[in-house]
Amino acid sequence: MWSSPERPAYPHQALAVVLQVRAGRLHVMLWRRGNEPFTGAWALPGGPLLADETLGASVARQLASKVEVQQLSHLEQLETRSDPGRDPRGRTVATAYLGLVPAHLDPVLPEDTAWHPTDALPETAFDHGSIVGSALGRLRAKLSYTNVGFALAPPTFTVAELRDIYVAALGYEVTATNLHRVLLRRGVLEATGEMTPPGRAGGRPAALHRFVTRTLEVTDPFAVLRPPSTPR
């Protein structure tokens, strides 16, 4: 690779933080490294950016070896890390993407790959644990002012089921009533006109809802969802 003092050449990697709500907790997809450095530690899916591909194409290629890319309902660029010491082998720049998988899917993963709760991460390689933290911050912010909840939810759901997904993603309690009111006011949700079959949620049948659109939209640029305040 050609380089000069004005245009130094450094390896550039594309990484993916893939998140999904599983069993009521937000999880991230990680794979266990088999080589140095950080042998045995868990890492984000990713790899080198090739000379003839864009970052978007690179992250899609890297993800294809771990999960069916079609199962991702949302993918966006998250951040670029350029700390000279982040890779003990030498300077490596990394651009991370945030990907979301709906809760009703159960992707088949390779043997070296597994889902881990974001609130109980194992030992991670490089700065990947910190990158997961950045992804959580991005997701939680976007749950406030966009309709990105569609990317975590199944096609149809009850308000109680959606509330559980939001609680897992946000990391704090929200009530189904308030969540329903806020999302209806923003024009994010609509009723399908159908009810749950007997026994799906227990008790009386509940109304099914869906997101009005399953593409990302800013719904309230000044909105912020905050944890409930603690009494003094």
The owner of tokens 């950080």 is 38
Contact 129, 119 (CB under 8 A): no
Distances (CA, A) of 111 to 13, 65, 67, 86, 114: 23, 12, 12, 27, 8
The residue ranges of DSSP E strands in the chain, in sequence order, are 12-22, 25-32, 42-43, 46-48, 74-81, 93-100, 113-117, 189-195, 207-211
Same domain, yes or no: 30 and 127: yes
| DSSP helix/strand/coil, 114 | strand
Phi, psi of 64 (to 5 degrees): -60, -25
For residues 160-186, average pLDDT: 96
Q: How many domains does the chain have?
A: 2
Residue 206 lies in a domain: yes
Instruction: Count Cβ atoms below 10 Å from residue 23 Cβ, excluding itself.
Output: 9
Q: What per-residue confidence (pLDDT) applies to 44? A: 98
| Residues 1-39: tens digit of each pLDDT | 555 556 657 899 999 999 999 999 999 999 999 999 999
- DSSP at 215: S
For residues 41-59, average pLDDT: 95
Q: What b/e readout covers 39-50, taking b as 16+ CB neighbours within 10 angstroms?
A: eebbbbbbeebe
Same domain, yes or no: 103 and 174: no
Residue 227 lies in a domain: no
Contact 132, 17 (CB under 8 A): yes
Q: What b/e readout covers 67-82, taking b as 16+ CB neighbours within 10 angstroms?
A: beeebbbbbeebbebe
Residue 157 belongs to what domain range?
A: 146-211
What is the pTM for the complete model shown? 0.92
Same domain, yes or no: 46 and 154: no
Same domain, yes or no: 100 and 184: no
Grade residue 198 by pLDDT with cuts at 50, 70 and 90: confident
Same domain, yes or no: 44 and 134: yes
Phi, psi of 14 (to 5 degrees): -110, 125
Whichever domain contains 164, its CATH number is: 1.10.10.10
Residue 40 lies in a domain: yes
- Euclidean distance between CA atoms 133 and 130, whole angstroms: 5
Grade residue 147 by pLDDT with cuts at 50, 70 and 90: very high
CA atoms within 13 A on the CB side of 100: 29
Whichever domain contains 59, its CATH number is: 3.90.79.10
Domain boundary among 143, 169, 195: 143
Residue 179 lies in a domain: yes
Same domain, yes or no: 21 and 123: yes
